Every structure is written in structure tokens, then in C-alpha cells.
Amino acid sequence: MQTDSSFTFVLFGGTGDLSMRKILPALFEAHRAGGMLADSGKIVAVARHVADRADYLEWVNEHVKPHVSKNGVDETAWASFLDRIEFVKIDLGNPEDFALLRDAVSDMPGIRVFYLATGPSLFVPICRALASVGLNENSRIVLEKPLGYDLKSSNAINDAVGEIFAEEQIYRIDHYLGKEPVQNLLALRFGNVLFEPLWRREWVESIQITIAEELGVEARGDFYDNTGALRDMVQNHLLQLLSIVAMEPPHSMDSDSVRDEKLRVLRALKPIDPRDISKIAVRGQYHAGVIRGNAVPAYATEPGVKPDSTTETFVAVKVEIENWRWAGVPFFLRTGKRLADRVAEIVVNFRAVPHSALGASALRGGANRLVIRLQPNETIRLYCLAKQPGEGMNLASVHLDLAFDRFFREGQMEAYQRLLLDVINGRLALFVRRDEQEAAWRWVEPILDEWAASHKPPKPYAAGTWGPAAASAMLAQHDTCWLEEEN
């Protein structure tokens, strides 16, 4: 991916955790690869916790280096990367300080990218301050999630930002859309005749999408306790993955063609009747437990969390899509913290053969399935039945395996690296459009409202397990189970 696009990349929240762990490491990898970033491109960090550029570079050396280049840091590349970085000390609460930023970037080349790695409460003040000094022209703005607390607050932010930046200037980032297997899902579906005839209700029994974490809330207790898993993961990551899985073939891979098809899926989600929420949605909260031999505390005792908190750390929900392709096929979405393993995957369970002369195993649903693993190891695995060697016609499950790190000799691109390059080069297809975001909020709001009104506590589950038993019971009603339960 070669580029001659000059750019000035302005990073708000330049000393924050996201900048240290993801954004600057991704920019370094693009720089180290050569040719991905224009030589003239500059990175301008904005923060108030360090004094000057020298202090900031010292901060970067300490906090970014541990997150780059798994096989060691190329010191020559690292030194030349640091040469790209400038620093402006700004108090984001003081709009007059933005004149300092304007003066710093006025002679820098190319498109300006403003990355808001800050809390959402700062999005609108930053955008207004940028406009006050004329920095909203010839620019792009990147907004991290969460964008609002509900549909109303999300619309308020989008309305305010939309008064300053045109929609084509706004990049709402969801890093799961930048992961290699998600891109390969599009390639598998729309580049091969093999899967498209099967990708419909006649041949698909159910679909599971899981994002599971072993970690708890870490140092984010204050934030998480006011957010919860439904807002933090379902409204954005999981519904975006669902829309990619279920979308119709786009006219082309340009940004609006792809996003138009995703929007059609989100608008076709079966509306939620509040009376049915207890049947189609499970929320849980982790209690003390053991993960990989280490004792971990209950959520309610984590720093920043209220002792009587009813915030959910686990959600499982059944989704239906009311269109001709997917009518009657249940989609099961699941996410949680302090679960038994760190995994993100999409499981497409195909229907059993209608009649088998080979025994009952061929009539079992899910004998044929496609498993797209997003993390920790990125693979695509197609399961089918084959005869076991030896006497008799005994069937066993086997799989065809596409492990990207073994098949492709060139290194894979991390999600943030791909998405940051897309911002610099003006590619919007992997970013969330406003109407997509509104449709997702509109669908989850009845669940949020019902949980808030019911005052019922989340179902408890021990850390190190796969969540409340009710999540398994929900799938059992459809004569299926979560993938790890079958194995």
C-alpha cells in the first residue's frame, strides 16, 4: 500500500492509554514498513501533562516502545519515526490555546487529520475550538467510541460535529472492522461462488458472534460503571460485525456502497418488544473467581465501581433479521469480561443434510460450519465430515484451515494500522456512517430502557467461566449451544 499523500496527523489525548498502546504503535509500523506514510508526513501530539517536545519524546520512549515490533525495535526506524513527531501543549478546556495549534501546523503539508483519542465529552468542545481557528477546512476528524450514552446524546454529538465538519470528513472508528479476517469475510463471500449460494436461510441454521475477554475493567472502573457491556460492545462492535456477516453484495467496494448494505441490515433488525427482553437478552456481572490459576476479584470491588453496582459486564442477545435472506435464522451475540478465554469469533452453523445413509452424525446441525476467528490468532476454518480411517463408515469432524500467519509470508497489518492509513488516504468504507450508528442505537434502546426500569440485578457468574447459565439456556431453546460447549 504505497502512498504519496502528505499529511499532518494531530493526536488529541497524546499521552493517553489508547495513543500509547494502539495509535502510535500503528503509525510506527506503517513508518517502519516504508512507503506507507509520505516522507513529509508529520505527527503532532496534543496534551497538557508534559512540558515540551523533549519531555513528550521521553514519554513516548517509555510508554510506546513496549507495544511496537514484537520481534524487537529497529532503532534506526524508531529514531526516524521520532523525527516525525512534534508536540503542542494545550489545555483542551481553554479554546484560546488552539491558536497555538494553528500556528504549529500552519506550514505543515497535506491533509490534516485530527484524531480525538479523548472522552466523548470533549468531542464537541474540541471541534468547536478547531473551527474557531479555521482548522476545520482541508481536514478529517476521527471519533473514537463510545459516541454518546444513548440515541439522544449520540445525535447531539453528531449534530454538533456535523455543523463543523461535513459527513465525508468524519471518520467514526470501529477497530474490529479493520481486522484481517473481517476483510477476508468480504473476500470469501463476494469473491468466491462457493459460499454465496449457501449464505441464506435455506442453508444456515444459526450464527454466533462472540467477543470474550479475560480482563476485567482494569483502570476503567469509573468509565465502565457508567457504560456497561451493551453500550460498550453490542451497540457498536457486535452489531457492526453482524451487518458485515449479513449484508447483501454491494454494487462495488466504495465507501457508500458498502455502508448502504450494512445500513439495510441494521434497519431490518426485528424490533424488540419490551415484553420479550427477558427471553432474548441475558445480562450478567462477574463475581470473584479464578482465571488461569490466578484469583480475581468481583466486579463490585474493582476500583471506581460502586459496591452496589447493577452494571452488566456480560451480555448475550438473540437477534433476528426480517428480510428474505435471513428470516427465521437466529443470530446470537455475546460479549463479556472475565470470561474463560480471550476470543473473538464468528460461527456460521450450516443446516444438516436432509437425509443421511451415513448415520446420525451427518444429521447433526453444525456438522458443517465456518469459524472466523478474529483474535487472538486470526484464522478461517471450514468444518465438514469425513470418513475415519479403518473398518466401517465412521464419520469424524475435520477442517480446512486458513491460518494467515502461515499462509501469507508477508506480515499482517494490525487493525489500527489499516484504519489510520485509510483515514490519511481518504477511504471511508471501514468507518461507521451516522445513519448506521443511529440505527444501532435505535435497536438497543428498548433493552437499555427495560433494564434501567426493572431494577433487577444482573445474573451473577464466576470469573473464569463463560457467563451466566441463562445464556446457554437461551440457545438450548433453539436446539443449539455455544461453540465451546459443544467442544
pLDDT at position 282, please? 98
Cross-strand bridge partners of residue 10: 44, 114
Q: Any known ligand binding at 459?
A: no
Q: From residue 249, how far is each of 96, 188, 199, 264 by CA, in Å?
A: 48, 12, 11, 12
What are the phi and psi torsion angles at 465 (to 5°)? -110, -175
Q: Any known ligand binding at 48?
A: yes
Q: Any known ligand binding at 37?
A: no
Q: With the C-alpha atoms ordered 340, 231, 161, 121, is the resulting torsion angle positive or negative?
A: negative
Q: Any known ligand binding at 179?
A: yes
pLDDT at position 2, please? 46
Q: Any known ligand binding at 322?
A: no
Whole-number Å distance between alpha carbons of 434 and 210: 25
Tens-place pLDDT, residues 26-46: 999 999 988 899 999 999 999
Give the catalytic positions in this structure: 237
Q: Three-state SS across the chain?
A: CCCCCCEEEEEECCCCHHHHHHHHHHHHHHHHHCCCCCCCCEEEEEECCCCCHHHHHHHHHHHCHHHCCCCCCCHHHHHHHHHHEEEEECCCCCHHHHHHHHHHHCCCCCEEEEEECCCHHHHHHHHHHHHHCCCCCCEEEEECCCCCCCHHHHHHHHHHHHCCCCHHHEEECCHHHHCHHHHHHHHHHHHCCCCHHHCCCCCEEEEEEEEECCCCCCCCHHHHHCCHHHHHHHHHHHHHHHHHHHCCCCCCCCHHHHHHHHHHHHHCECCCCHHHHHHHEEEEEEECEEECCEEECCHHHCCCCCCCCCCCCEEEEEECECCCCCCCCCEEEEEECCECCCEEEEEEEECCCCCCCCCHHHHCCCCCEEEEEEECCCEEEEEEEEECCCCCCCEEEEEEEEEHHHHCCCCCCCHHHHHHHHHHCCCCCCCECHHHHHHHHHHHHHHHHHHHHHCCCCEEEECCECCCHHHHHHHHCCCCCCHHHHC
Whole-number Å distance between alpha carbons of 468 and 286: 9
pLDDT, one tens digit for every residue, the chain (487 residues): 445 579 999 999 999 999 999 999 999 999 998 889 999 999 999 998 888 999 999 999 999 998 886 667 889 999 999 999 999 999 998 999 999 999 999 999 899 999 999 988 899 999 999 999 999 999 999 998 878 899 999 999 999 999 999 999 999 999 989 988 888 888 888 888 888 889 999 999 999 999 999 999 987 889 899 999 999 999 999 999 999 999 999 998 888 999 999 999 999 999 999 999 999 999 999 999 999 999 999 999 999 999 999 999 999 999 999 999 999 999 999 999 999 999 999 999 999 887 777 766 655 656 889 999 988 888 888 888 887 887 777 777 788 887 766 766 566 788 999 999 999 999 999 999 999 999 999 999 999 999 999 888 999 999 999 999 999 999 999 999 999 998 6
Q: Any known ligand binding at 259?
A: no
Sheet (strand 42-47) strand order: 85-89, 42-47, 7-12, 111-116, 139-143, 170-172
Q: From residue 234, how far is each of 143, 328, 399, 403, 413 by CA, in Å?
A: 18, 21, 30, 27, 25
Q: What is 187-413+434-486's CATH topology?
A: Dihydrodipicolinate Reductase; domain 2 (3.30.360)
Q: Any known ligand binding at 213?
A: yes
Whole-number Å distance between alpha carbons of 214 and 196: 35
Q: Can you give the residue ranges of every domain in the chain?
A: 7-144, 187-413+434-486
CATH architecture label of 7-144: 3-Layer(aba) Sandwich (3.40)
Q: Any known ligand binding at 232?
A: yes
45 closest CA partner among 71, 69, 16: 16
Bridge-based pairing state of the strands 111-116 and 139-143: parallel
Q: What is the pTM of this model?
A: 0.92
Residue 266 burial (10 A CB sphere; 0-12, 13-18, 19+): buried
Q: Any known ligand binding at 175?
A: yes
143 closest CA partner among 440, 433, 413, 439: 433
